[in-house]
Amino acid sequence: MGSDQFGIAPAVLLVGGFAWASAIMLAAVGNQADAPRANACAAAVDYSRSIVSHRFENHPWIFDAAPDDQSMRLSAHDLRASIWTLDRPSIELSMRFAKATTKGALDACPELRNLLTDRQIAFGSRAVDEMMAKSMASWHNGNGLYSSFIVSLSLPVLSPDGREALAYESSTAGPLGGGGHIIHLRRNRADRWVVVDELSRWIS
């Protein structure tokens, strides 16, 4: 009886307490590791919300996976040397962006997919393929536009302080109608991400 009260029970409590503390520490580490992704996705969602409301309000559009960045990629030096009209990105952000592997915001951010679903906007490669098949008939009739515009956005790359970001964005309205940009975003005092400048990289 004494052994059960003063030996086994404290040992069980000690092991249980250690496991509980370990779980708390792992959860904290997980939350810290997920914070940059969540911040980058917040930037992607805020930017996408703005183009939903303004750029394509009178025309249907589809959100595709990551844009092809090969025609848009720049070194950190060239990125800084480019002509930004309003707001040049910091050197720290430029270096991060030049080295980063491009990821699609659509695949990385469930928050973005939820926004598109709520707004009844199609997304993904299957939706693009179906739209392209339907657009073939209009091309034969002399209409050079897709039935829906196609927009692609990379997962924004954050500055070290998490208040500035760069992303690739491309939009296509037809075989000879589209463009690609590098988008410069900043987080304002209301913790909303806004576009402060953009750098055109290609146009057709």
Q: What span, in angstroms and rounded, lies between the C-alpha atoms of 121 and 64?
A: 11
Q: Which residue range(s) make up the domain with 64?
A: 36-203
Position 172 in a domain: yes
Please check whether residue 88 lies inside any domain of the structure: yes
In a domain, 103, yes or no: yes
pLDDT one-digit tens code per residue, 114-158: 999 998 888 988 888 888 777 776 665 556 677 778 889 999 999
**pLDDT, tens digit (0-9, with 9 covering 90-100), for 26-84:** 333 344 457 889 999 999 999 998 887 665 556 778 888 877 767 677 888 888 888 78
User: Domain tally for the chain?
Assistant: 1
Residue 79: inside a domain: yes
Assign 3-state DSSP to the chain and report helix, strand, coil percentages, each to 5.
Answer: 45, 25, 30
Confirm whether 20 is domain-assigned: no
